[in-house]
Amino acid sequence: MGCRVTKSNQVQLKPCDRGNISVPAMRAALLIQRWYRQYVARLEMRRRCTWNIFQSIEYSGQQDHIKLYNFFSYLMDHFSSANSQRNLVSQMFGESDPFQDAEWEKHFCYKDIEVPDVYTGPHLSFPLTISSVTELVDAFKNKQKLHARYVLQLLGKTWTLLRLMPNISHVCTCKHKEITICGDLHGHLEDLLLIFYKNGFPSAEAPYVFNGDFVDRGKESIEILLVLFAFLLLYPHDVHLNRGNHEDHIVNLRYGFTKEVLGKYQVHGKMILKLLQKIFSWLPLATVIDQKVLILHGGISDKTDLNVITKLDRHRFVSALRPLKRRGAWATPKEADDDFGSGRRRVQSLTHGAPLRLRQELQRHSVHSESGRTGRSVEEELRERRRLAGLSLPSDSDSAEDLEADTVEWKQIVDILWSDPMSQNGCVPNEVRGGGCYWGPDVTQEVLDRHKLQLLIRSHECKQEGYEFCHNGRVLTIFSASNYYDVGSNRGAYIRLGPDLIPHFKQFQASRSTRELTLRQSVGRTERSAFQALRMQLFAHKSALIREFQEYDPQCTGLISVKHWAVAVEKVLCLGLPWRVLRSQLVNSSTQDGTLNYQDWVSQLSVIQPNTEIANTSLLETLYKHHSNLESIFRMIDTDHSGLISFEEFHQTWKLLSSHLQTDISDKAISDLAESIDFNKDGSIDINEFMEAFRLVEHRRAEMEAPPPPPE
């Protein structure tokens, strides 16, 4: 991807030529060189500033989401079952699972779904072949959709296989065999296809590790999952999928995956989402290469213990955002034998609690090949393996210890999915994201040395070049979604790791238009996008900003200093940005003495209002400010994934949000809002239409998208 210098365009200066260069020419060359270096340095400063804006807004959104979920957890833990809010939250999260695993396979039966004759997409037959998987990849490349029958069939086979896999996959590099490691993809199918084009498809000779966050944010998350699951079924020993923090159905409600699936599969989308929820909980948590390189999604903490992670029952942690709450009695022997009853069971891991000979046997054969060889059904084969693994039920006296163990296990999972490295020593809570921790180089050294490891490869953070070393070269971040924040914002990368365990990086940029831009054009494009997002944030908090500005303006002059402006903006938005540096891009005018008219500044924020008229400005600003939280609650309440909610559910949504924000929103204001957006007057509200109606749009972009005025 970088520039190459060939022999044809190299300028070779002989000693006699260098001696003939005049002093003025040399000075001119040095001046040009100095100017160019300053020019590039200024562009780099702008790029880093833009990067900080994008990242701060992203982490702020994650923090808001976790705070909202913690609020729901508080309702569940501290209110009686008769409380209306608690009942609503219980309904939203579906605490009780009506099906045992044996019944789930019948519930997700794909055989009753007919494929119409007019369907022109790919057809799948099992067991999969390389030609059928290649056909699937080509179909997705051409924007075709896989029929719901095949989607459910593929997901069902994947779920069955994942239940046999260990929490930590162990991979060995053979001689002349390289392993490819990919980071976050986030719904960017174009990046995955480019990796396959450059590096080849997964195979027994070309194993891959995909390090989580396959979904959300991008528009082709389901296609990425189906491709990865197809290769996993084809090469179960050579394709390894680690779970990321976005493989979580609660996170998917906010960041787009739930909406994507329901939009593409309107009839069977609910069933697909429910099955994916179970699949995500069964994804392995980490991969170890040659007992020396640890690969996991987020990171570690000073409490990380791979021995604990190896033995925990990962499928019980359907969402890592909430610790397990033990409810009811322990599973009966029948429930345990049926696998995963509603109560917690004591079970040894299929591949780690059993004797070594059995572990090796389980890892050599897939469940499909074993069931075919023995004549047993897949479910009977699963039961037999669980019996060999050894199931036992605890006594009531163990309950307190088990609850404590649940908390320890939950913290282990949260840390490896959500944590980020920091340059300072120590381990502190990750308050920027709202989950996991920040860990320092001393923690890296202690954890890796304790487990006799030499390198930690993680993802979870977007990097401008696609990868980054830290902690004295012992922690490596890899990110494979190029153009993550905006076109041109970053490169993607993947790693090739051979028997010497030295990582080799391959960088790429999926967008052809980006590769054709100059550095200045690329920086300018992403900079405009970043400041647009920042103006949206400022506009959504304008009332709070004005109140804070007035604290520095006791005489009500309407003027404050730039210093006070920067302090007030940071206090309200809490983004940790250098506001005084950003002022020139955000403040169009100031007085000669350096003061700022904050009333004019707020009114000049180039954001347009929605078409719907709302008299209650407090309600409108709450909607703007907590747009994403509101959509998350809507989609949680929409338990049947119909895309519609009733007036009563709409009212309950706003009451939940107002309780979370500790604000007072009247019932009349909520009712007026509901009636104003019930366009067809059928007593229900379309979630997508509602959220789109109140999406903030920048003035200039809105004017560009608007049709031209009619001629006079």
Residue positions annotated with a catalytic role? 246
Report the amino acid identity of residue 254.
Answer: R
Give the strand order in the sheet containing 437-439: 420-421, 437-439, 427-429
Helix, strand, or coil here: 248?
coil
Q: If we measure between CA atoms, which residue out of 493, 508, 479 comes closest to residue 213?
A: 479
Distance between CA atoms of residues 48 and 41, nearest Å: 11
b/e string for 629-661 if b means 16 or more Cβ within 10 A? Answer: bbbbbbbbbbeebebbbeeebbbbbbbbbbebe
**Cα–Cα distances in Å, from 496 out to 285, 500, 506?**
21, 11, 8
DSSP string, 595-663: EEEHHHHHHT--BPPPSS--S-HHHHHHHHHTHHHHHHHHHHH-TT--SEEEHHHHHHHHHHHHHHHT-
Residue 214 backbone dihedrals phi, psi, to 5 degrees: -80, -25
The gap between the terminal CA atoms of the chain, to the nearest Å, is 52
User: For residue 53, what are the contacts with CB-CB under 8 A and spacing of at least 6?
Assistant: 530, 531, 533, 534, 575, 577, 582
Q: If we measure between CA atoms, which residue out of 185, 184, 189, 187 comes closest to residue 143?
A: 189
User: For residue 9, what are the contacts with CB-CB under 8 A and spacing of at least 6?
Assistant: none
Count CA atoms within 13 Å of residue 330 on its CB side: 18
